[in-house]
Structure 1
Amino acid sequence: MDTIPETFTSYFNKIYSKKTYLDKYGGSVIGTAVSLLIFFCIFSYFYVQSKMDPIRQNWANERCKPEVMPFAGLINAPKGTSKMTYTAENFTKCTVGILSEVVQYFTSPLYYLSDMVSNFYLMLMKVVQAFRSLAFYLRMKVMKIIEYMVARIYNVMIPVQRLFIKLKDTLKKTEGIMVTGLYTVFSTYLALKAFIGSFLQILIIILIIIVAVIIALWILPFTWPAAAALTAFFLLLAIPVGIVAGHMGHILNITSKSVPNKPGCFDKNTQIATKNGFQNISNIKSGTILKNGDRVTASFKIVNSNDMYNFNNIIISGTHKVLHDIKGWVFIKDHPESIKIENYYEPYIYCLSTESKRININNYKFLDWDDIEPVDVIKLKNLDYLQTYSPLSDIHKFLESGIDGNSLIELDEGNEIKLKDVQVNDILRGGERVLATVEIDTKNISYIRKYYFNGFEIIGAPNLHICDADLGNFNTLDKFGKVIDRPQKLYHLITNNGFFIINGIRVRDYNSAIENILDIRDKLYALS
């Protein structure tokens, strides 16, 4: 423990205070090295002097030897170049050559590895190229196969396509023939109905005249024989006419015009499936999109004066029509699954019009407010109010009725209010009672016009029915008016007498829009 120095400084001083070999013999070593160097130089000089000519003759191989390099300028300096300069140049050249050989020797493994890697990637590239060539070959073959198949299919499809075109054309022609035939049969039916009706009317008039003559003949005693004969003739004529009239009335449905049914509608809590979920029918506004994509074109709020029925948990008036699987369109009151509600006290019921003219509730299909059945569509097309291939939505587009909500209407009390503010059960100036208010969506109506009639004006949809003592009785379908920007909504009323006065013009109520058009056909072809 005593040999351990007390500090690092004393330790290092002790180490470096010892004398090394060079400290003792450094002078001798240096002297020996200098002597050897001098001896090497002298020896080399005399060696070179003795080998001068052979070295010069083999200069390319001798120039870089260690014993020759220091004397290169002395041995073989070119003319015009100093011996020292040439010696330096030779030394530099030899050094570079030797280093090049050494570097080449040491880097040859790296070059070998790089060559192997290059060859590997070259082979890999060739393999990839081979796969690409194979893929290209396969692709071309597949393309040729597909082209061949497409060509064959094309060759087959062209005749098939022509066949389908001809088939489509044939079906269209068949459809046209069937539609024409249907219209022809329907027109024949209506013409026959009108002819028989007119013929029966003539016979009835003749019978009435005969009755009047018979009564006159029975007054005077001397004309009783003639009266008896005429009475017998009357009976011979009246009995067959009565039988024919009865059978024709049964077969051709020849009946007198009857009062239209009361509006058919739903309870306020009836659930309707819309695009945004189920809603009460009382909350549905015109323009609402239903779940099946149908659009509500009009919404109705109606005073309740109907018998109401429970039809599979749907509260509905008896005069509404539902599609029966066997019987077709039948009134709810006539449907076997309907149960009459004896005590129903709701003051208002509600209904809708849609573009499809149908209302779907709980997988049951009901007619909308307009009660448009297939035969009515045929009538509208036969009267040229609709095109042959018009969809049902064209009824709303071209035949909708409605009046601007800002139009003024006078109440029985003498004050004027806007049409859109009229309420159910309001009494109007002429004593009309409002049975229903109608809100109409204008988005898909063909146009909204401002009509001018002898100083009066009215804004509305295409199909307004005027029935005014001064203006006449007509609708606006064939009248010109100024097309204006459409309001978002139009409005209308249904009254107890079918009329009301607005902006000083007496108009028919909403029900006249379709009913009056269909009544044209009835007036032309039905018995009055």
Structure 2
Amino acid sequence: MDNIKASNFTEYFKKIYEERGYLDKYGIDVFITSIAFFIFFIAISYFYVMSKVEPIRNNWDANKCHPGIIPFAGHIINPPDQTPLEFTTQNFGRCVNQILATIVGQFVKPIYYLGDKVIGFFNKLVGVLQVFRKLMAYIRNKFKKIITHLMNKIVNVFIPVQKIIIKFKDALAKTVGVMTAGLYTVMSGYLALKSFIGSFLSILIAVLILAVVAIIALWILPFTWPLAASGTVFFLLISIPTSIIAGWMIHILNLTSRSVPGKPGKPACFDKNTLVKTISGEIMIKNLKPGMTLNNGIKVNATFKCALNGQKMYKINNVIVSETHKVFHDKLGWIYTSEHPEAIQVKDYTEPYIYCLNTDTKRIEINGIKFLDWDDLEPIDIIKLKNLNYLTHNCSLRNIHKNLDSGLDADTKIELIDGHSISLKKIKVNDHLKFGGKVLAVVKINADDISFIKKYKFNDKILIGAPNILLDDIDLGKLKTLNIPASVIDTKKYKNKYLYHLITDKGTFVANGIKIQDYNSAIENIIDKRDEFLNKF
């Protein structure tokens, strides 16, 4: 290359590619030399192999892939079913595959090694997780045993307490039973005494009447006047104290078993600030008046102002309502408020009064929640009213108020416990009535939609009111005004817009000198629900 003379680098490369190189000049010689060397190698290998053919044949598995032995495999091992060329070709293919497998094995050995390490790492990680799991299971089991042991100890402590409470409850129940039996015994004694005194007075009055007849007969004849005078004095000495004692006993014992105070009531009502939507806007329930129309077209037939009377209050969807009010649940149907899944008890509720309504559909809807109105008429009760022929099967529920509601004239006289008489419309909740107990609720009823106002006359006593009033008077007996004739007052000419009624802890009160049942009796006596309403109040 030293004979190349170039003035620049480009011409130098041109001369390299333009002039002939070594292989161009001597390529054929190199090829012939290589062939000669190959033939020489084959010849040397052949003579070497043939000189050591027995040791090679004896250790054929170790020598069969030696480069110098591969070309002569068919001459070293000559199977009877193959020619030397076929065996040599077969051996060559096997050796090539073996050599390639060895080369590839060496190439992928690091990958296998890395894979083994990764697998080993994850196996150890799984082992650690298994140990951790066993540890957590051990801790859980020990904790469970500790809790179980503690609960067993607690149960061992509380079971005797529970037994004591059960025995105490049983003792109280037995005490109540004994007291109830005693009360009935006293009542039986009282009624027996009353019957005895009544019989004795009847006999005594008969004797006195006979004595009067005899004395009158004695005064007719002059010669018997001294005897008549003595008889008259004796009659006066007997009759005057007897009359006083008889009058006093009749006044004191003028009681019936119905006059025994009942269990204090549980009204089903709402908090006074409950907002009710009307066609005039939202109004607090305490300000609603009978005759108002709610926004869904339902008309208010009556309003109730009730004493709280120990009732628990609950909140459902921001509506505060008493525990015994019936509310509709999509899955449970009509249930008590206290049983509603979303009901939350209002602690320390201190309002003295709660309020309720009667409507012409017997339903109240507040904040999207459906409630029954005061009468608590479920669908089965409506069916019963229809089956009893008080309602036709295709009539509107508005007919319940129209034909079956109760109520008295606002000016009906009610006697208080102090002997003072006032108008029914002036009675307040918690007032104490003479012969009527305590007022638990005042009911104000819309008179416009009543079918008719009647004037009922009982001897010299008069009641004015709705069609359905129940009497429970000692002289008049038990009467339903639905079944007795009376003069009708045109509702359009009736002077008062509202009728009134009461609910008492005895279930009765005296109005215009007549003992009547309270408002709850209007519907309950028809559908035979007295026990349910007594539980309500």
TM-score with structure 2 length normalisation? 0.50
Distance of aligned partners of 1:239 and 1:308 in 2 relative to their CA distance in 1, 3 Å threshold? closer
Which residue identity is paired with 1:281? N
Contact 1:425 1:435 in 2 (8 A): yes
Which residue identity is paired with 2:167? K
User: Could you say which residue in structure 2 is the equivalent of 1:355?
Assistant: none
User: Could you say which residue in structure 2 is the equivalent of 1:318?
Assistant: 424
- d(CA) in 1 for partners of 2:212, 2:524: 43
User: Could you say which residue in structure 2 is the equivalent of 1:307?
Assistant: 411
Residue pairs, 1:362-441, within 5 angstroms: 424=452, 436-437=466-467
CA deviation vs aligned residue, 1:328-347 (integer Å, no higher than 9, x gap): 98589x99x99xx9xx9x85
Contact 1:271 1:280 in 2 (8 A): yes
Return the offset for 1:83. 1.8
Return the offset for 1:302. 5.5
Return the offset for 1:225. 1.4
Distance of aligned partners of 1:162 and 1:129 in 2 relative to their CA distance in 1, 3 Å threshold? same
**Aligned mate of 2:303, from 232, 249, 271:** 271
Which residue identity is paired with 2:117? M
Return the offset for 1:244. 1.5
User: Could you say which residue in structure 1 is the equivalent of 2:360?
Assistant: 283
CA deviation vs aligned residue, 1:397-455 (integer Å, no higher than 9, x gap): xxxxxxxxxxxxxxxxxxxxxxxxxx53699xxxxx9975569xxxxxxxxxxxxxxxx
- d(CA) in 2 for partners of 1:19, 1:110: 49
User: Could you say which residue in structure 2 is the equivalent of 1:366?
Assistant: none
User: Could you say which residue in structure 1 is the equivalent of 2:181?
Assistant: 180
User: Could you say which residue in structure 1 is the equivalent of 2:122?
Assistant: 121
- d(CA) in 2 for partners of 1:144, 1:33: 92
Contact 2:375 2:523 in 1 (8 A): no
- d(CA) in 1 for partners of 2:447, 2:156: 71
Return the offset for 1:94. 1.6
Contact 1:197 1:254 in 2 (8 A): no
- d(CA) in 2 for partners of 1:196, 1:104: 127
Percent of aligned pairs with the same amino acid: 35
- d(CA) in 2 for partners of 1:132, 1:198: 92
Q: What SS does structure 2 have at the residue aligned with 1:66?
A: coil
Q: What SS does structure 2 have at the residue aligned with 1:324?
A: coil
Return the offset for 1:110. 1.4
User: Could you say which residue in structure 2 is the equivalent of 1:244?
Assistant: 245
TM-score with structure 1 length normalisation? 0.50
Residue pairs, 1:65-84, within 5 angstroms: 65-78=66-79, 81-84=82-85
Contact 1:306 1:318 in 2 (8 A): yes
User: Could you say which residue in structure 2 is the equivalent of 1:47?
Assistant: 45
- d(CA) in 2 for partners of 1:85, 1:142: 78
**Aligned mate of 2:482, from 478, 488, 493:** 493
Contact 1:218 1:224 in 2 (8 A): yes
Return the offset for 1:250. 3.9
- d(CA) in 1 for partners of 2:63, 2:327: 105
- d(CA) in 1 for partners of 2:74, 2:184: 130
- d(CA) in 2 for partners of 1:153, 1:96: 79
Q: What SS does structure 1 have at the residue aligned with 2:482?
A: strand
User: Could you say which residue in structure 2 is the equivalent of 1:193?
Assistant: 194
CA deviation vs aligned residue, 1:181-200 (integer Å, no higher than 9, x gap): 11111111122122222222
The two structures, once aligned, show a CA RMSD in angstroms of 5.3
- d(CA) in 2 for partners of 1:57, 1:122: 49
CA deviation vs aligned residue, 1:312-369 (integer Å, no higher than 9, x gap): xxxx98299876277698589x99x99xx9xx9x85576xxxxxxxxxxxxxxxxxxx
Which residue identity is paired with 1:324? N
Q: What SS does structure 1 have at the residue aligned with 2:66?
A: coil
Return the offset for 1:207. 2.3
Q: What SS does structure 2 have at the residue aligned with 1:114?
A: helix
- d(CA) in 2 for partners of 1:181, 1:154: 39
Contact 2:45 2:69 in 1 (8 A): no
Unaligned runs of 5+ in 1: 1-17, 256-265, 310-315, 351-422, 428-432, 440-473, 476-490, 499-509, 518-528
Which residue identity is paired with 2:184? Y
Distance of aligned partners of 1:201 and 1:512 in 2 relative to their CA distance in 1, 3 Å threshold? farther
- d(CA) in 2 for partners of 1:128, 1:293: 67
Which residue identity is paired with 1:178? M
- d(CA) in 2 for partners of 1:201, 1:319: 42
Which residue identity is paired with 2:48? S
Q: What SS does structure 1 have at the residue aligned with 2:132?
A: helix
Q: What SS does structure 2 have at the residue aligned with 1:281?
A: strand
- d(CA) in 1 for partners of 2:157, 2:72: 99
- d(CA) in 2 for partners of 1:201, 1:225: 29
Contact 2:74 2:87 in 1 (8 A): yes
CA deviation vs aligned residue, 1:461-517 (integer Å, no higher than 9, x gap): xxxxxxxxxxxxx99xxxxxxxxxxxxxxx99343469xxxxxxxxxxx989979x9
- d(CA) in 1 for partners of 2:30, 2:93: 29
Distance of aligned partners of 1:254 and 1:424 in 2 relative to their CA distance in 1, 3 Å threshold? same
Distance of aligned partners of 1:347 and 1:154 in 2 relative to their CA distance in 1, 3 Å threshold? closer
User: Could you say which residue in structure 2 is the equivalent of 1:206?
Assistant: 207
Q: What SS does structure 2 have at the residue aligned with 1:493?
A: helix
Which residue identity is paired with 1:307? D
Distance of aligned partners of 1:129 and 1:193 in 2 relative to their CA distance in 1, 3 Å threshold? same
Q: What SS does structure 1 have at the residue aligned with 2:67?
A: coil
Return the offset for 1:307. 1.6
Q: What SS does structure 1 have at the residue aligned with 2:189?
A: helix
Contact 1:275 1:289 in 2 (8 A): yes
- d(CA) in 2 for partners of 1:167, 1:186: 28
Contact 2:405 2:466 in 1 (8 A): yes
User: Could you say which residue in structure 1 is the equivalent of 2:87?
Assistant: 86
User: Could you say which residue in structure 1 is the equivalent of 2:254?
Assistant: 253
Which residue identity is paired with 1:43? F
Distance of aligned partners of 1:267 and 1:121 in 2 relative to their CA distance in 1, 3 Å threshold? closer
